[in-house]
Structure 1
């Protein structure tokens, strides 16, 4: 064919797709300008995007564990804290310079933004009897002036106090902590970063002035770690993803112009999705920030299918514009369908009980739709302008695809048997997976919060807490001896549990006051037995406390309930949930009280199981919708149902492989089902569309149509799969465990799906597609420069 620039492709029907391609080519400059301007308008919304670094965003307002926790936070002082952990470089904590560091850190901590309460060894309110008076004062004052004997006595007292040991002081007195409680007004997204920045400045000051090292942990540091981890990933993973895409595209297309156009499509797809999120008022979280990498990965596929076919047409003698028409006709339907099914898969995330995954699904679905729009408008318009040329040589991979098709057909019984056995074996391993969410383990060792928290867990106290609010049944009922006995029994039972590090309860303070009021006689270190006397003790002690160190963290205002906080060793979330349930059961069986364990650790312990239940429905609906879309698009019910096998089997096999390799399912892993289903459908749709085109328009038999599908779309499927796997493996390098696990499992699923599409789907088509396709004379299509049924396919399958 002559290399004309505008003429229509001969031997093709002038249908709506060709007419649309003609419009794109005619109006290419206007279309490019309009696309850029419209994209910039949408992208401008990105300036409204903020980052929500509150760990509560992982739980919906309807989450019963969050509701219970919020209710308890309204009753008692909030438990949002930073644990400022101090370790002496030499000796133990009870040296003048170390205690001076603790005292200075305690004093300055009161001045931090949003600080509400500060607890440490130095300001611990120690009570003792002086004649007939109860004296309550800081345990340590002016440590630099203390004698060795005074320091020894303070150490003895501190190590005998249940409130201090294994919470503010290690058992061997070599590590201590200042616990800073914050009251965030939640009026600005900058509150947590501001508090953390101030604490880090204090850490630097203390370390430079005293012979100590400081580690930072706690709930506020956890919230900040979500933000910093996401920023770190966006700064490192996105450039790496662009590098992989550019290298792969250059190797595939061997055209700078085509690579440049693809990069623009990817960039616009990603940025318009972020802009739309900004206009919608969404706030980024660690899961939703992964949308940028995912969109970049998915947006490549549409461009590859369009460009590979376009360059195939150019190699067959078509002009650049004719090749654009040719590619539009062959790819518009499959690209539209795969974009739609991918969007449906990501939209199924809205069934999740974890709101950040709603945002991830919606942002990515929007990005996928935009990638489709850019790929069938902006990309062909740009290719109509850029002076790209096609290499005339056929790729080695294209020849491999022909050989692969022949091998699968020739050895189909053996291939099917081996593939089926491997798939069944992997699916059988699915039960090896267990639910487990560790909000500290979400971060890898490159995140400072993770290393500091591991240090605290190993050297001072546990990092997981369960909080119980025990109701006394009446105002001022906390002074009732019967209630105090039940509470103390509950506390002692928990202290006997092997998983428990520390239990904080006001009953210990009651026993100390009772001892004080009896001349500090150790025989009276027990709970008071008279309600009125207990109430007087409580009032006297409370009036002696300084401002900011009241009892609101242990009792409600009406003195009708008290809070017991259980600190646990490092353990899987499944065991933590079991410990919480054991405590609830003990209360029911041994007292008249009923209380449920709450806290961030409890919420995260249940998040995977709760999410899996909600996602089962979402995945089921996604399967129905995607299957219906494929069936309608293929106009063949049998093939629509048959397509479920290579699309669902990889999900089961991937989860089985996950059970063998990892065995732990967190909330991110439960999200993969619907998301991956939408992605893995793409390859089977492209394969089936080429198979049906060969049968309906070229009159090929089943084996010939399978060979045509391998030859025509095999390379594109291979390359898109490589890019998808590379993209999700890059996501698997995230410092945030949720995103890393999601990326790794999705990559495994795509690899399994590739084998299913190449090894199982062709054999199923040969075995089960018994329908005869009549070829009407009007439907016969003679493609340019072809001599055999698959010669054109082989050309299309080669690199540009």
Structure 2
């Protein structure tokens, strides 16, 4: 007879009060889930950046100075010919007028309403390039075409050099007071675009821009929730049905994972967490993680029943041997996900906190609700030899017989993968956050191919005091900076005030092209600027380029589809150029959404290095204390660290690029892969302490008692994270696939390297020493 302990007493109490426990568990689950009514979803890309993020602070400072540049871009291309056709220009003019009615629109720029300036004797005439009364005959079309293709402010931004593609750009200023602002603006634009496409089937129209980007976060998340969670349930149901081969066990496990996900999302609502594309995947992750605890308890229970134990006796024994490992695995998983609070991106903090709450809920329901429900449900298990036992026994004998070769062979495999880690490049292009099933991705790729990119870098270039933008020296330096940017291969277009000054100087000299140059006198330049501004209609002023007191100018460079590494290089080189050549702008750095995303992976990695290290230390200490062995705690380091190195090496070999997802995978996977290590070491330790086995017999015992459960739970975890890899949001997809690969590597390490290390490093203790060890209930 085994000595009774508190876990045994708890299990017997649980069975006695099973109906009360079931009722209480259901009540707790629904009380927690009630908070789901308070969940909201963010539709702002800024949510990826903490308030302390320097790139976000710089961008918000820039937006307070100039007109906000959130936008919706409508990119058009006729199927045949150029845009300079009467019917096409007429359609653009109508679309421009409709675009002004977009909710929260403060400016609309297009080919037709471009404020073209010309000279008429001594007068400066500023008017729409295509006025409402324009005849659009041959001569008028030639005038419009010549002016548009000669204008630096239009070419490569509003119209392509081949005159085949043009854009209507809607500037949106969101009050950011309610969550429906972005959907409202996009709903109106979608309606206008739908009508336009129906009226002009011969004109291709694509929708892109930062507001469309924001809306796509919501579209992607909703699509994932509608597809991934049902797929996840289907996959888990199929896997459990095959592996558990028990209807009652499958039903009980499905109830546990449902209660766990419901509780976590409800608690997120209660504490005010706002959902984002990364955090909305928490239910999928929780569904996967919640299964592991239940599977270990059920497999041990079925194992006991196959050996002839009565159901409730087998249930008590299962709880006795699994209570501590299940607690430890839940604790280490919570530590791993809680370490995401060191991330610079709030959505990953929220993902970590929601998942951690779900793991705690899963632990509670697994050690309370699950056994209580299994005590009630009918379970039929035939007394017979354990399936899979022979395979585990053969694997154990293989490792025991070839421990040296297995260890060095596994370490060689680790090294083979790890050498490819340096090939990985950080790249966070936000367009690539979405797969091709999201319209924004397809439209943006098309727009970038035919006109220009959505990626921009912006500089607020200060002058020496109020009105300083009219100073000839400042304008010369600004023009030199513009030429520096235009000379770079990755720069498609540069919007700068100097182009307007040169055009105005030409206009004021009878449109003589010889005078297309910067004014040489400050007062003259200031007069030109004032005269031009007074001629501009409402909504098309220069507030998007010049600040109120004329002490700074915004320069905007539109870029090719470059990597974030290349953008960071552009930022560094432009900063160095300004420091050398522009005293008043020596401290100026690039800003904008793309710049923010270019640095987020680096900042996340910096934060997560601290978080991952702390998680690693806490998990190692937890295992050392729980197993009451410094040696076993030290041995556990290898199977906890090496799988991530192997996974990233394989990723470097096959994919080569990572972004924000990479910064959190190590921490989250660390908390998960420890589970297998804990269960294996727990059973190994039990054999050494309780049974007095030597290292070889302890390894055999661990394989025979927990080997099947480990590969079953690994199969379930891999299946779950593989489903996450199907996400339309690539950050989530990459995180899911990387984690799945890490889990595969982990089971290889746990089944090969871990037992080999135990045999080589712990095998010197003989049975007598093992028997003298305190009979601590280390795995209870």
Q: Residues 343 and 368 of structure 1 are in contact (CA less than 8 Å); yes or no, is this contact kept in structure 2? A: yes
For residue 675 of structure 2, the aligned residue among 677, 682, 700 is: 682
Q: Residues 348 and 361 of structure 1 are in contact (CA less than 8 Å); yes or no, is this contact kept in structure 2? A: yes
Per-residue deviation, residues 512-539 of structure 1 (Å, max 9, x unmatched)? 1111111111111111111111111111
**2:86 matched residue in structure 1:** 96
Give the match's secondary structure for 1:309.
helix
Give the match's secondary structure for 2:126.
strand
Give the match's secondary structure for 1:136.
strand
Q: Residues 443 and 736 of structure 1 are in contact (CA less than 8 Å); yes or no, is this contact kept in structure 2? A: yes
Gaps of 5+ in 1: 1-10, 782-800
Structure 1 position 775 matched with structure 2 position 768: no
**1:34 matched residue in structure 2:** 24
**2:35 matched residue in structure 1:** 45
Structure 1 position 165 matched with structure 2 position 155: yes
Give the deviation of 1:143 after TM superposition: 7.1
Structure 1 position 137 matched with structure 2 position 127: yes
**1:374 matched residue in structure 2:** 365
Task: Give the whole-Å Cα distance in 1 for the aligned partners of 2:221 and 2:485.
Answer: 38
**1:179 matched residue in structure 2:** 169
For residue 203 of structure 1, the aligned residue among 190, 193, 196 is: 193
Task: Give the whole-Å Cα distance in 2 for the aligned partners of 1:268 and 1:422.
Answer: 40
**1:281 matched residue in structure 2:** 272
Structure 1 position 752 matched with structure 2 position 742: no
Task: Give the whole-Å Cα distance in 2 for the aligned partners of 1:777 and 1:540.
Answer: 93
**2:66 matched residue in structure 1:** 76
Structure 1 position 192 matched with structure 2 position 188: no
- Closer/same/farther in 2, CA of residues 137 and 394 from structure 1, 3 Å limit: farther
For residue 637 of structure 2, the aligned residue among 638, 644, 653 is: 644
Per-residue deviation, residues 60-118 of structure 1 (Å, max 9, x unmatched)? 11111111111000000111001111111222111111111111111011111111110
**2:110 matched residue in structure 1:** 120
**1:791 matched residue in structure 2:** none
Give the deviation of 1:244 after TM superposition: 1.2
Give the deviation of 1:402 after TM superposition: 1.0
TM-score normalized with structure 2 length:
0.97
- Closer/same/farther in 2, CA of residues 167 and 777 from structure 1, 3 Å limit: closer
Task: Give the whole-Å Cα distance in 2 for the aligned partners of 1:399 and 1:517.
Answer: 94
Task: Give the whole-Å Cα distance in 1 for the aligned partners of 2:437 and 2:53.
Answer: 31
- Closer/same/farther in 2, CA of residues 65 and 760 from structure 1, 3 Å limit: same
**1:3 matched residue in structure 2:** none
When structure 1 is superposed on structure 2, of 117-126 and 604-613 the one drifting more is 604-613
For residue 232 of structure 2, the aligned residue among 229, 241, 247 is: 241
Gaps of 5+ in 2: none
**Number of equivalences:** 771
Structure 1 position 720 matched with structure 2 position 716: no
Give the match's secondary structure for 1:244.
helix
Give the match's secondary structure for 1:145.
coil
Give the deviation of 1:395 after TM superposition: 5.0
For residue 610 of structure 2, the aligned residue among 591, 596, 617 is: 617
Give the deviation of 1:632 after TM superposition: 0.7
Task: Give the whole-Å Cα distance in 2 for the aligned partners of 1:114 and 1:429.
Answer: 49
Q: How does 1:317-466 map to 2 (within 5 A)?
A: 317-394=308-385, 396-466=387-457
Give the match's secondary structure for 2:433.
coil
- Closer/same/farther in 2, CA of residues 75 and 693 from structure 1, 3 Å limit: same
**1:656 matched residue in structure 2:** 649
Structure 1 position 542 matched with structure 2 position 533: yes
Give the deviation of 1:444 after TM superposition: 1.1
**1:7 matched residue in structure 2:** none
Give the deviation of 1:350 after TM superposition: 0.7
TM-score normalized with structure 1 length:
0.95
Give the match's secondary structure for 1:392.
coil
**2:281 matched residue in structure 1:** 290
For residue 693 of structure 1, the aligned residue among 683, 686, 697 is: 686
Q: Residues 100 and 143 of structure 1 are in contact (CA less than 8 Å); yes or no, is this contact kept in structure 2? A: no
Aligned residues: CA RMSD:
1.5
Task: Give the whole-Å Cα distance in 2 for the aligned partners of 1:618 and 1:562.
Answer: 41
